A = this chain, B = another copy of it.
Amino acid sequence: MAAWHSPSAAWRERSWWGWGWADEALDDDACRRLAETALRPWMPIDGSVLPVPYDPVLDPPRLIPPSIMEEAFTADPVIRAAHTYGKAFRDVVRALHGRLENPPDLVCHPRTAHDVVATLDWAEAVGAAVVPYGGGTSVVGGVEYRGDAPWISLDLSRLNRVGEVDEVNHAVRVQAGVFGPALEQALVPHGLTLRHYPQSFEFSTVGGWLATRSAGHYATGPTRIDDFVEALRVITPQGPVESLRVPGSGAGPSTDALFLGSEGTLGVIVEAWLRVSRRPSDRSSTSVAFPVYGQAVAAVRAILQAGLRPSNCRLLDPVEAMLNAGATDGQARLLLGFEGPTTPLLADAVTICADHGGTAATSSGDQGTWRDAFLRAPYTRDALIRLGLIVETVETACTWSRFDALHAAVIAAAQAAAPARVAVVTCRFTHAYPDGPAPYFTIITPARRGAEVAIWDEIKAAVSEAIAANGGTITHHHAVGRDHLPWLAEQRDPLFTDVLRAAKRTLDPRGILNPGALF
């Protein structure tokens, strides 16, 4: 079976079909209990549990590894299966149904940047596509391949060294395949932290974050991985590209900006210098209940526009508050937190909330509940899928003045496209800016068994149209992959797409890198 090195240095099995650790998945009984206690009251489900396939059945590989670096390659069916898709709803449900039509012919685990160079050279020679793979948590079809060529999943998780931790300059040199927990563990002895916690933190890598412009769970201020980049090292089929390590530069267009968000199409990010910071000693937080959702939205806007930059500023709508923070009073909840020297500013933010009808909790107990739910959510998601539900998320960012219409349009579109027009659609803000929020919608609806992907794709299309029509970006932090491409193609200026194509021809003239993603 597939085995990955866990951050705690013990061997532990990752799920090949679903989220995270295999042993954390809800078993059949737990799924049934979830159905009885939490779902049956409000969702029409039949109670049956889609079984986990015993062993994946795949077509034989069409490639034979090059003898010179044979040990880096594997054709193990479970590893190939685990690298066939990312971890979107449509990925998990396809895996559960055993639909693994286009698995990678080989999975390659380079141990050095030189291995990456050799793999790209070999792939060019044999006409194979190469899809870079970090932790494989893409939810946008970023790590699968939909073309006809033989293909290699280039799993960078063995480029897993944390290099110099530079205490003088608050920076760390790190290889692309380092997972979130391993990086943070390496920083602990130095009293430092990257402070970048996407929901996938445990199972995603530095390289994946950089390639997809991931956003951490801090709601404001420096939170996107872009904000932490000092310098990158990228291997392209034409050679390496390196940027200068300086704290700031105005020397022409940014080299890093070309590769941040390039999703493996222009090169393979192998190493980065990232800015880190001292672990905050002070923290303060609370949750604020709002009877009127619109006033809660206005409060978040007022907090940001007053110049306050809370580390946490998540607005949960009443259903989110019920599902994820145990709040059953039908009120929205704003989770507010400040860290480090700005800790004393919490009182200012609470005052702004009070001006908008919000009542702060007397304890900050909600937040732990919510954070646990946040990290457990993908496992629960997998159980709901096995119970026959569609469970997926959609996210965007828009200006404040667009939000009301976008919010209403997304909910209406999801419900109109859902079977029997029944869908639960919840919304939370994951990030907030002075000029607008990043709303994150969860959509839950019963699926017809076997037709889950087709139904979801219809909902996704309807919702994406609603987002685009209301001035939202097609993705704030889930990246583009293949699933967002049709809408990105509308939102990205065609001349800029031409520039990206020219960059691609310059760096990857044979077009082997992640073909079909991004453009």
Contact = CB atoms under 8 A, between A and B. Distances in A.
Contacts of A498: 238, 506
B246 A472 contact: yes
A496 B247 contact: no
A488 B169 contact: no
A215 B251 CA distance: 12
A248 B438 contact: yes
A248 B171 contact: no
Contacts of A437: 247
Contact of A224 (B248, B496, B502): B248
A142 to B, nearest CB: 11
A461 B223 CA distance: 39
The number of times this chain is found in the oligomer is: 2
Contacts of A492: 244, 251-252, 255
B169 A400 contact: yes
A249 interface: yes
Given A171-B399, A257-B257, A340-B307, A250 B475 contact: yes
Interface in A248-288: 248-255, 257-263, 275, 277-278, 280
Given A249-B476, A254-B257, A472-B246, A399 B435 contact: no
Nearest to A502: B502
A298 to B, nearest CB: 10
A166 to B, nearest CB: 7
Given A398-B246, A499-B258, A480 B252 contact: yes
Interface of A: 166, 168-171, 212-215, 224, 230, 236, 238-255, 257-263, 275, 277-278, 280, 305-308, 340-342, 344-345, 348, 396-401, 431, 433-438, 471-480, 484, 488, 491-493, 495-496, 498-503, 505-507, 518-519
The 10 closest A-B pairs by CB, nearest first: A257-B257, A247-B436, A247-B433, A502-B502, A213-B250, A249-B473, A307-B340, A169-B399, A247-B435, A246-B473
Given A168-B401, A252-B261, A503-B503, 11 more contacts: A166-B399, A212-B250, A230-B435, A241-B493, A245-B399, A246-B399, A252-B480, A253-B259, A278-B305, A341-B345, A501-B506
